[in-house]
Amino acid sequence: DAKTTQPTSMDCAEGRAANLPCNHSTISGNEYVYWYRQIHSQGPQYIIHGLKNNETNEMASLIITEDRKSSTLILPHATLRDTAVYYCIVRGTASKLTFGTGTRLQVTL
Amino acid sequence: NAGVMQNPRHLVRRRGQEARLRCSPMKGHSHVYWYRQLPEEGLKFMVYLQKENIIDESGMPKERFSAEFPKEGPSILRIQQVVRGDSAAYFCASSPPGGGKNTEAFFGQGTRLTVV
């Protein structure tokens, strides 16, 4: 599965949109981009995934560039409860999810 | 529809004892993944199972660790002769039949193993 690169940490003001970038320049055509988050020491929480089209659900939006080499997770109105480590994962034929170090998002008042 | 259930949530074992961690997947899910998270570290894949089959055990330590997912009942991660370095949070995830790259995997809340 392709490797991903994410910033180590980001801050976001409560109520503002949080835009979390992810680089996956070696992604293959049949690999999906997944986003999970881990709040404190809880179990990882599924957020969203996509192949090449932009996706939106009740939690977030996923924007994948046309060349698929990068993507952005958007939390439209961040709250304090969105403070977590966010993981961008490229998932291919191996099926397993390989977690990197993620981005630590701190939402502040 | 209940989520992925792991038990116990906390487990304390003395060095040399056995630890058994249980994972009940979501209803209808037939694929299970186990992960380990050492203190202040990331999640590391251990093993991927389907009912009665181990599909990928590339992350399992060669000794003392085993996993099963029987036809009936929960998936079990078994650690024999535990050592202090086994102290970690162990997470299980499940996904529906198919289990491929286009199916979400949902995680349980984990079992925190402490070896004393």
Closest residue of chain B to A37, computed from CA coordinates: B107
Give the closest residue to A99 by CA, choosing from B107, B76, B7. B107
| Nearest Cβ partner for A96 among B48, B89, B109 | B48
Cα separation, A83 vs A73, whole angstroms: 14
Cα separation, A51 vs A64, whole angstroms: 8
Give the tens place of pLDDT for each residue, A35-75: 999 998 899 999 999 999 899 999 999 999 999 999 999 99
pLDDT value of position A41: 84
Say whether pLDDT at B98 is over 80: no
- Confidence band of A29 (pLDDT split at 50, 70, 90): confident
Say whether pLDDT at B1 is over 60: no
Cα separation, B46 vs B68, whole angstroms: 12
Q: Enter the tokens of residue A106.
A: 């701190």
Helix (H/G/I), strand (E/B), else coil: B109? coil
CB A47 within 8 A of CB A59: yes
Neighbouring C-beta atoms of residue B82, cutoff 10 Å: 21
Give the tens place of pLDDT for each residue, B56-88: 999 999 999 999 999 999 999 999 999 999 999
**Residues on chain B touching A98 (C-beta within 8 angstroms):** 45
- In whole numbers, what is the pLDDT of chain A averaged over residues? 94
pLDDT value of position B99: 63
| Nearest Cβ partner for A32 among B42, B102, B107 | B102
Place of tokens 């994948």: A64
CB within 8 Å of chain A, chain B residues 39-78: 42-45, 48, 55-56
- Confidence band of B39 (pLDDT split at 50, 70, 90): confident
Question: Pick the residue with more confidence: B42 or B12?
Answer: B12
| Mean pLDDT, range B89-96, rounded to an integer | 95
Say whether pLDDT at B107 is over 90: yes
CB contact under 8 Å between A97 and B56, yes or no, is no
Closest residue of chain B to A92, computed from CA coordinates: B101
CB contact under 8 Å between A41 and B89, yes or no, is yes
pLDDT value of position B97: 84
Task: Give the pairing of strands B75-79 and B65-68.
Answer: antiparallel
Degrees, nearest 5: CA angle A76-A80-A84? 85
pLDDT value of position A18: 98
Phi and psi at residue B46, to the nearest 5°: -115, -60
Say whether pLDDT at A2 is over 80: no
| Nearest Cβ partner for A43 among B56, B101, B107 | B107
Cα separation, A88 vs A32, whole angstroms: 10
Give the closest residue to B27 by CA, choosing from B5, B59, B12. B5
Cα separation, A2 vs B50, whole angstroms: 24
Cα separation, B110 vs A39, whole angstroms: 13
Closest residue of chain A to B40, computed from CA coordinates: A41
Phi and psi at residue B108, to the nearest 5°: -85, 180
